[in-house]
C-alpha cells in the first residue's frame, strides 16, 4: 500500500501564530493556492488515490476535497474520521505560541489542560487499527491512500506505525533518508510511505506485527516550488465565493 500522510494547507491561525488545535480555522488565500498546487502536482505524477481519509476540521477537509477535484468520481468522497482531528490545546487554544500569556488567575480558575500524548496515541492507534489495518490485510497491493490531517496527530500516527513494525524501517537511498527519520510537516507537506505485511495467521491479531515500511519522501514540498505569496490578500481568509483575479482580468479583456 502506498500511503501519503499530508498536512493541511495554510490556515488563518498559522499566519496569526496562535494555537488552533481543535479550533476550526479556515484556509487563507495562500493556503488555497497551496492546495491547488498539491492536487495538480500529485495528478501530474500519476498518483490516483483509492481512498482518502481526513480530519473533520475544515482546513483538512478543504485540502482533501482538492485531491478529489483532480480525480473526478473515481476516488469517491473523502472519509471524515473524527480521531484524525488535531491535538486539543485546552486553554491555550487561540493563544499566541510565541507568548501564550495565560495568567495565574486563569490557570487557577478555569485552565483546561491540553490533550496528553497518551490520549493522542490512543487516537492514532484507533485510526491505524480501524482504517489502515483492514486495507493492509485484504491482500491487495493496489491501494493508494491519503491521510489529510494535522502536524501533531500525523507525527503520532507515524510514531505508531514505527512502533508496530518488526523489521527496521527501510528508506529510499535516492532520497538519502536515514533509517529512523524525524519527520516534520509544512503546510501541504507530505510523508510518502510504502507499507506491506504478510497475511496474519491469527484472525484476532490487531498489531501490525509483520509490517514493513519504506520511506519514499519526507515533508515533500516540490509542488510549492516557485509559489509566491500574493501581497496583501495572501494572508486573508479564503472566501469560496471570491472570484480569482486571473479569471476577472481574462473576462475584462
Binding residues for substrate: 7-14, 59, 86-89
Q: Please, are residues 55 and 41 in contact by the beta-carbon 8 Å criterion?
A: no
- Name the maximum alpha-carbon separation found in the chain: 67
| 144-199 per-position pLDDT tens digit | 999 999 999 999 999 999 887 755 455 444 444 445 567 899 999 999 999 987 65
Q: Which of 30, 86, 115, 150 is catalytic?
A: 86
Q: Which fold has domain 2-252?
A: Rossmann fold (3.40.50)
86 counts as catalytic = yes
Structure pTM? Answer: 0.84
DSSP string spanning 11-53? Answer: BHHHHHTB--SSS-PPBBHHHHHHHHHHHHHHHHTT---SEEE
Q: Given the residues 8, 30, 150, 238, select the one marked as catalytic.
A: 8
Q: Each residue of 63-122: pLDDT tens digit?
A: 999 888 777 666 778 999 999 999 999 999 988 877 756 554 555 567 889 999 999 999
At residue 169, the pLDDT reads 52
Q: Which of the residue ranges 32-36, 146-150, 249-253 would you say has the lowest mean pLDDT?
A: 249-253
- Cα distance between residue 76 and residue 246, in whole Å: 30
Per the CB < 8 A criterion, the answer to whether 58 and 237 are in contact is: no
Based on the residue annotation, tell me whether 8 is a catalytic residue of this protein: yes
Taking residues 24-51, what's their average pLDDT? 94
Domain positions in the chain: 2-252
Residues comprising the binding site? Answer: 7-14, 59, 86-89
Residue 103 burial by CB count (10 A; 0-12/13-18/19+): exposed, middle or buried? exposed
Amino acid at each position: 500500500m502506498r500511503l501519503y500522510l499530508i498536512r493541511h494547507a495554510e490556515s488563518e491561525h498559522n499566519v496569526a501564530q496562535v494555537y488552533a488545535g481543535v479550533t476550526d480555522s479556515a484556509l487563507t488565500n495562500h493556503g488555497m493556492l497551496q492546495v491547488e498546487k498539491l492536487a495538480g502536482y500529485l495528478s501530474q505524477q500519476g498518483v490516483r488515490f483509492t481512498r482518502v481519509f481526513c480530519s473533520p476540521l475544515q482546513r483538512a477537509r478543504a485540502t482533501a476535497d482538492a485531491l478529489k477535484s483532480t480525480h473526478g468520481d473515481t476516488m469517491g468522497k473523502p472519509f471524515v474520521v473524527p480521531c484524525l482531528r488535531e491535538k486539543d490545546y485546552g486553554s491555550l487554544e487561540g493563544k499566541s505560541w510565541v507568548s501564550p500569556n495565560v495568567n495565574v488567575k486563569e490557570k487557577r480558575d478555569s485552565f483546561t489542560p491540553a490533550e496528553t500524548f497518551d490520549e493522542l496515541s490512543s487516537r492514532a492507534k484507533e485510526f491505524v487499527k480501524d482504517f489502515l489495518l483492514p486495507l493492509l490485510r485484504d491482500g491487495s497491493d493496489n491501494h493508494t491512500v491519503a491521510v489529510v490531517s494535522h502536524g501533531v496527530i500525523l507525527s503520532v500516527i507515524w510514531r505508531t506505525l514505527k512502533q508496530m513494525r518488526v523489521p527496521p524501517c527501510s528508506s529510499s537511498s535516492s532520497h538519502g533518508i536515514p533509517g529512523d527519520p524525524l519527520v516534520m510537516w509544512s503546510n501541504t507537506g507530505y510523508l510518502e510511505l510504502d507499507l506491506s505485511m504478510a497475511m496474519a495467521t491469527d484472525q484476532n491479531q490487531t498489531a501490525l506485527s509483520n509490517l514493513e515500511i519504506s520511506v519514499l519522501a519526507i515533508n515533500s514540498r516540490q509542488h510549492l516550488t516557485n509559489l509566491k505569496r500574493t501581497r496583501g490578500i495572501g494572508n486573508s481568509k479564503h472566501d469560496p465565493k471570491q472570484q480569482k483575479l486571473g479569471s476577472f482580468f481574462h473576462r475584462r479583456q
